Amino acid sequence: MEVFFNNTLYKRAKASWSSTVENPKLFDELDAFISNNKNEYIICFYSYDLKNNIEDLSSNNKDNMKFPDIHCFVPDEIYNNYSIEKEKKINQEIEFQSDISKEEYLKNILKIKEHIQKGDFYEANYCYQWISKVDHLNSKLIFENLMDLTNPPYGFYADLEKHHIISASPELFIKKRGNKLYSSPIKGTQKRDLDPIKDKLLKKQLKDSLKDQAENNMIVDLVRNDLSKIALKSTVKMEELREVYTFRNIHQMISTISCEISENEKISSIIKATFPMGSMTGAPKIKVMQIMEDYEISKRGLYSGSFGIIYPNGDFDFNVIIRTLIYNKANHLLSFHVGGAITIDSNPKLEYEETLIKAEALFKACQ
């Protein structure tokens, strides 16, 4: 068992804990596990269905990946300034198939827009899955390829008992520094171009896009509301609004919101107030999550969830699990999800193209 994140390798588990969302004491047990391992590094994985323990929700879609709803462990060995061991390249053919056709996707976008017109919600994150059968996965090679293509700030690699996870996430769900929390939702995506002049124009188009601005604004409001549930009075603050950041493969519009919390605030309270992250649900959260279950075919599983590390001093970093490949060692299935925010102004064809922009680096990394 090993996890590689931010040039550090966390290896072997000297303590671990997992749970299903059906466990009524899930969050009590999580707080107990964290308390019992105080002053240790704690690695955590939160699947999207953790929402079902927080709210009165359920998920009945198919699940090929079978990742635990929540899994945490304390590493026995930690190696700083570590360079991940690379696998030798061997021939392999990885051909992905989506669980929904383009035509079905376009029809569903129109149906989702009808919900918006009726007032059921005003923004929804709609996702679908790409999947492939792979007998032998060169996971470290694919991770190396993906990092070369994207260089994301919150990417990571994990080789767990039953799964490989290869993530190129650029998005921060939530981090804690002292008594301050930060969240940086991403809403707004644009491709890049090798021509510097064209690339600059594409970046400006994203910055000036009224649709993307509206998407970002709606999620910012949602995040501010989530943080206000646990924030000290009058401390929720806008650190950055709709800034466009450039990654190796993509331009993204990002905002950052912060707040101050009590020194005694438990991890469980923070998760209950903020999870799932608004950028992966839409707004209002509960109604969107209920309705998207009817349009999405496969369970999101770890996608739309979070991976993170709690540090010995109590600070933590948790990402948003997007742009992430997940491999089930038992059934040899490799998959990833992509999605996007649907608003009343969404153009179905452009929304589909945006999902392919997000998927491009994942396809290339597997070639």
Total domains, the chain: 1
Model confidence at 89: pLDDT above 80? no
The tens digit of pLDDT for each residue in 247-261 reads 998 999 999 999 999
Rounded average pLDDT over 177-188: 95
| Structure confidence at residue 85 as a pLDDT band (50, 70, 90) | confident
Looking at the domain assignment, is residue 130 inside a domain? yes
Rounded average pLDDT over 56-67: 93
Rounded average pLDDT over 304-319: 97
The tens digit of pLDDT for each residue in 219-249 reads 999 999 999 999 999 999 999 999 999 999 8
Q: Which residue range forms the structural domain that includes residue 326?
A: 2-81+97-365
In the chain, the percentage of residues whose pLDDT exceeds 90 is 93
Beta bridge partners of 167: 156, 324
Beta bridge partners of 325: 166
The predicted structure's pLDDT at residue 91: 53
Looking at the domain assignment, is residue 338 inside a domain? yes
Rounded average pLDDT over 66-77: 97
Looking at the domain assignment, is residue 87 inside a domain? no
The predicted structure's pLDDT at residue 90: 60
Residue 227 belongs to what H/E stretch?
helix 210-228
CATH number at residue 111: 3.60.120.10
Residue 11 burial class via C-beta count within 10 angstroms: exposed 0-12, middle 13-18, buried 19 and up? middle
The predicted structure's pLDDT at residue 88: 67
The predicted structure's pLDDT at residue 142: 93
Torsion of CA 282, 193, 325, 78, to 10 degrees: -100
Strands 250-260 and 237-246: antiparallel
